[in-house]
């Protein structure tokens, strides 16, 4: 496995989503919002066929906490957090997330 700093940043791969997460997260968890620009992109979640999540931590890092971000925009975003609740481990979006075009349906 390559080291985390060799991974692309989520903010570089999906700038729109990263910006949207920061914008929505600032309303309820500003300290978590601060971490978004440092998140790395670990590829699509392969937990089940058609899963719309992308990983921002190695697979299996997620705890049970989920942070739901909702907006009147075109998509809704769910963030999974690690067991300590201070790291976003994956990002799942419904609606028309920018990465939906690249998944096999």
Query: Which residue, 30 or 66, is less far from Zn ion as judged by CB?
Result: 66
Query: What does the alpha-carbon distance between residue 32 and residue 65 come to, in Å, rounded to a whole number?
Result: 13
- Candidates 19, 30, 47, 59: give the one binding Zn ion (CB under 5 A): 47
Query: What does the alpha-carbon distance between residue 95 and residue 81 come to, in Å, rounded to a whole number?
Result: 21
Q: How are strands ordered across the β-sheet holding 53-55?
A: 53-55, 88-94, 76-81, 66-69
Window of 27-35, 38-46, 62-70, 72-80 that interacts with Zn ion by CB under 5 A: 38-46
Provide the minimum distance between the beta carbon of 92 and Zn ion in the complex, in angstroms, as a whole number.
7
What DSSP element (H or E) covers 92? strand 88-94
Query: What does the alpha-carbon distance between residue 91 and residue 99 come to, in Å, rounded to a whole number?
Result: 11
Query: Which residue, 30 or 100, is less far from Zn ion as judged by CB?
Result: 100
Window of 8-16, 47-55, 56-64, 80-88 that interacts with Zn ion by CB under 5 A: 47-55
Does 45 interact with Zn ion (rule: CB under 5 A)? Answer: yes
Contacting residues toward Zn ion, per CB under 5 A: 45, 47, 51, 53
């Amino acid at each position: 496995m390559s080291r985390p700093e060799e991974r692309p940043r989520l903010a570089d791969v999906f700038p729109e989503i990263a910006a949207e997460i920061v914008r929505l997260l600032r309303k309820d968890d500003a300290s978590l919002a601060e971490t978004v620009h440092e998140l790395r992109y670990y590829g699509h979640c392969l937990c089940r066929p058609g899963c719309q999540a992308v990983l921002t931590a190695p697979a299996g890092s997620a705890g049970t906490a989920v942070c739901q971000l909702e907006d009147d925009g075109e998509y809704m975003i769910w963030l999974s957090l690690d067991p300590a609740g201070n790291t976003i481990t994956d990002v799942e979006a419904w609606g028309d997330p920018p990465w939906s075009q690249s998944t096999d349906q």
